[in-house]
Amino acid sequence: MNRQACDALDAADPLASLREQFELPEGVIYLDGNSLGVLPRAAAERVQQVVRDEWGRGLIRSWNSAGWIDLPQRVGDKIGLLIGAAADEVVVADSTSVNLFKVLSAALDLQRADAPQRSVIVSERQNFPTDLYIAESLARERDLELRLVDADEITAQLDDQLAVLMLTHVNYRSGRMHDMAALTRRAHEAGALVVWDLAHSAGAVPVDLNAAEADFAVGCGYKYLNGGPGAPAFAWAHARHTARMDREQMWQPLAGWLGHAAPFEFTSPYRPAPGMARFICGTPPVISMAALECGVDTVLAASPFGGMAALREKSLALTELFIRLVEQRCADQGLTLQTPQEAGLRGSQVSFAREDGGYAIMQALIARGVIGDFRAPDILRFGFTPLYTRFIDVWDAVEHLRQVLESGEWREARFNQRAAVT
Ligand SMILES: Cc1ncc(COP(=O)(O)O)c(C=O)c1O
């Protein structure tokens, strides 16, 4: 493999034109779409329009005339197309953390009603901290046990004590992907429910929540969905659970006015809206929702080219190439691959651990225009969004990494000063 061969791969790439949807700064190789997706050109326009016309001229009328009030469901339905959810099964609201609180509470309520002796929440020790903090807070509140295990110990935890298995589908550190359908099936056989965090999956890998018979899911708008900084998140529940919540008039814990069955009647007591709408709490952030809709549209734009399956094929080719090139060209530089080599186990990112200097190496790369990120204590993380990442970018990024490591330039003091966000 050489640089020309990467050029040839780009020339033959059926998804290449999708990159034109994005405002990519000159001279930047962006390998951090797993943290914050790139600005879609349409979003800059659309946000202007929402601000200038819908807010500026339409004012309060725009809740009806511009359909602001329907945004949680409208954008939710579009995300649903990417994760195997049916219409009306996804709502966009709040952050991933807040949505996780809501759906994990709902799952625990269902289990408390059916099997009150089940008192354990199991998750992965290496799960993203916010997931673990939310589970910890619920475990404290309800006097449950939160049990954290390694990935290969999960199946041993599927017993009659387990209430909810709460997992992130693709691990934020290693990029390792769980088999959603198989784990869900085994958890169900053991009588447990499963909550999936799709933060690193939605828009990154094919997901089919209904085919997997999953119970609840949440996910993030600002990563592979390109929704912009702080974009709202989404929540999903299987229709069997929302139907039961309807029948039994079950709440989620953050019962706010826009999750009420009739918010504009302004009545008490609280009566949950039917279906997923009960998972909405307060007023949607309209401007952010508008930007998120444009972001989701950039992923849906792949549909005529084969959709998520085609994106997945390219993503695997990109990550495979990156792994291979780093191993060839940066051998003996103390980098240890953290991401599974096996395609079926890999999300859309590649991580390398390095005993020392990881943060500074990433800073030196960023100074050269190759943007990835660092996750303490030792992970260099590179995300590959197939919508806008080219094979030539992979080649060039590895060449920069080689130069940074071989020259030792990362040792310079300026690369060793920790910023607040890494
Ligand atoms: C797995 C996972 N869950 C949740 C979040 C963030 O959640 P929030 O939207 O609450 O910031 C992240 C952020 O990187 C994440 O990686």
> What does the DSSP assignment read for 280-331?
--S---HHHHHHHHHHHHHHHTTGGGTHHHHHHHHHHHHHHHHHHHHHHHST
CA 209 → CA 74, 180, 197, 348, 370, distances in Å? 19, 8, 11, 19, 34
* Mean pLDDT for the stretch of residues 182-204: 98
Active site residue 415: no
128 is catalytic: yes
Tell me which residue of 103, 107, 190 sits closest to 155, measured CA to CA.
190
Residue 359, helix vs strand vs coil: helix
> Which two structure tokens, joined as six digits, stand for 283?
């007023």
CA 163 to CA 80: how far, in whole Å?
Answer: 26
Centre of ligand 1 to C-alpha 419, Å, is: 20
Residue 366 pLDDT greater than 90, yes or no: yes
User: Is the Cβ–Cβ distance between 35 and 221 less than 8 Å?
Assistant: no
Asked whether the predicted pLDDT for residue 175 surpasses 90, the reply is yes
Average pLDDT, stretch 390-409?
Answer: 98
Tally Cβ neighbours within 10 Å of residue 349: 33
Q: What's the token pair of residue 332?
A: 């003996």
Atom 6 in ligand 1: residue holding the nearest Cα: 96
Count of all residues that appear for the chain in the document: 422
Cα distance between residue 335 and residue 59, in whole Å: 55
The token duo for 331 is 């051998």
Of all protein residues, the one whose alpha carbon is nearest to atom 14 of ligand 1 is 35
Residue 208 has which token pair? 């089919």
**Which of 223, 278, 312, 375 is flagged as catalytic?**
223
Name residues whose C-beta falls within 8 Å of residue 366's C-beta, 6 or more positions apart in sequence: 372
Residue recorded with tokens 């706010």:
256
Which residue out of 96, 123, 172 has the highest number of ligand 1 atoms within 8 Å of its CB and is therefore the one to mutate?
96
The atom number, within ligand 1, closest to the CA of 97 reads: 10
pLDDT in tens, 19-62: 999 999 999 999 999 999 999 999 999 999 999 999 999 999 99
**Phi, psi at 130, each rounded to 5°:** -60, -35
Distances from the Cα of 94 to the Cαs of 147, 186, 256, 274, 337, in angstroms? 27, 31, 12, 19, 34
Contact indicator for 89, 237 with CB cutoff of 8 Å: yes
Task: Please confirm, yes or no, whether 223 is among the known catalytic residues.
Answer: yes
Could you give phi then psi for residue 293, rounded to 5 degrees?
A: -60, -40
**In this predicted model, what pLDDT tens digit does every residue of 214-233 receive, in sequence order?**
999 999 999 999 999 999 99
Mutate to test the pocket of ligand 1, among 101, 127, 128 (most ligand atoms within 8 A of CB): 128
DSSP H helices, 52-95, are: 62-65, 71-83
Q: Is 259 exposed, middle or buried (0-12, 13-18, 19+ CB in 10 A)?
A: buried
Ligand 1 site residues, Cβ closer than 6 angstroms: 95-97, 128, 130-131, 168, 172, 197, 199-200, 220, 233
**pLDDT tens string 242-297:** 999 999 999 999 999 999 999 999 999 999 999 999 999 999 999 999 999 999 99
Q: What are phi and psi of 161, to 5 degrees?
A: -95, -20
Q: Which helix (H) or strand (E) holds 373?
A: strand 373-375
How far is the C-alpha of 398 from the C-alpha of 408, rounded, in Å?
15
Which residue of the set 312, 354, 381, 390 is catalytic? 381
**pLDDT the model gives residue 104:** 98
**Backbone φ, ψ for residue 2 (5° rounding):** -140, 180
Q: What letter would DSSP give residue 389?
A: -
What is the largest distance, in Å, between two alpha-carbon atoms of the chain?
A: 68
Tokens of 111: 């289990």
Model pLDDT for residues 317-365, shown as the tens digit of each residue:
999 999 999 999 999 999 999 999 999 999 999 999 999 999 999 999 9
- Tokens 């914050």, residue? 36
Residue 76's region, left for phi above 0, alpha for psi from -120 to 50, else beta, is alpha
What's the pLDDT score for residue 420? Answer: 92
Known catalytic residue: 197?
yes
Write down the catalytic residue from 22, 30, 101, 222. 222
Cα distance between residue 50 and residue 68, in whole Å: 10
Q: Check whether 180 has a pLDDT greater than 90.
A: yes
At which residue do the structure tokens 């059916």 appear?
114
Q: How far is the CA of 35 from the centre of ligand 1 (A)?
A: 9
pLDDT of residue 346: 98
Tell me the per-residue pLDDT of 89-128, one tens digit each, with 9 for 90 and over.
Answer: 999 999 999 999 999 999 999 999 999 999 999 999 999 9
Residues ≥6 apart with Cβ < 8 Å to 49: none
SS3 84: coil
Q: How many A from CA of 199 to the centre of ligand 1?
A: 6
| 139 vs 106: CA distance, rounded Å | 13
Q: Give the closest residue to 358 by CA, choosing from 415, 413, 396, 308.
A: 415
As a whole number of angstroms, the distance between CA 31 and CA 38 comes to 10
Pocket test for ligand 1, best of 104, 130, 281 (most atoms within 8 A of CB): 130
Q: Is the pLDDT score of 422 beyond 90?
A: no
Instruction: Tell me the percentage of the chain whose pLDDT exceeds 90.
Output: 99
